[in-house]
Structure formats: structure tokens, C-alpha cells
Amino acid sequence: MLVYTALRLLLFAVPFAVLMVAGVDFVWSVLIAAFGSAITSIFMLARYRDELSESISTRSERMRARSVEREQSEDAWDDARRAADDPSADGNRA
């Protein structure tokens, strides 16, 4: 994630600096550098973007699995607690 972010920032900073040194107005330098970095990153950073996407997806799946495990553990604890508190849970219903 850090590599993609650094490269993306670099793709913006270099053209911006060149345009500022060339004497282009600040607003135009920002706009041109932003547009240029967006277009360039589509092609040059595809591999890094895919790696970042895979990393985020893997992390999300792990978090989802842990959430399900915690939910099941909580449900089991809650069921056991309710069974212990309910006097009719032992099968002697009136």
C-alpha cells in the first residue's frame, strides 16, 4: 500500500515541480499535474494497484472471518447463559 501511494505521489509531484519551475501558474500546474498523474497511473501503476486491491480483499476476508467467529462465540455464550438462567430449560415444563 505504501509503495502505490508513494509512486502515485511521485507521479504528481514531479510534473508539478517541473511546471512550477517553468513558470506555469500554480492552479494550472496543480490541474495539469493531477490530470497527468491520473492518466499515467492507470497504465504505469496497474500492477501495484492490483496488489493493493488483493491485499485489501485478503484483509477484509480475514476481518469478516474473525467477526463471524466472535459472533458465533458470543451466541454460544449467550445460549449457555440463557439455558442456565431458565428453570424450564431442563425439560421440566409445566
Q: What is the pLDDT of residues 21-71, one digit of tens each?
A: 999 999 999 999 999 999 999 999 999 999 989 999 999 999 999 999 999
Residue 37 and residue 8 in contact, taking contact as beta carbons nearer than 8 Å: yes
- What is the 8-class DSSP label of residue 61? H
Helices 2-21 and 26-44, interaxial angle, to 10°?
140
pTM of the model: 0.59
Going by pLDDT thresholds of 50, 70 and 90, the confidence category of residue 85 is: confident
Residue bearing cell 491520473: 38
Q: What is the pLDDT of residues 48-62, one digit of tens each?
A: 999 989 999 999 999
pLDDT of residue 59: 93
pLDDT of residue 86: 77
Within its chain, how far is the Cα of 35 from the centroid?
24
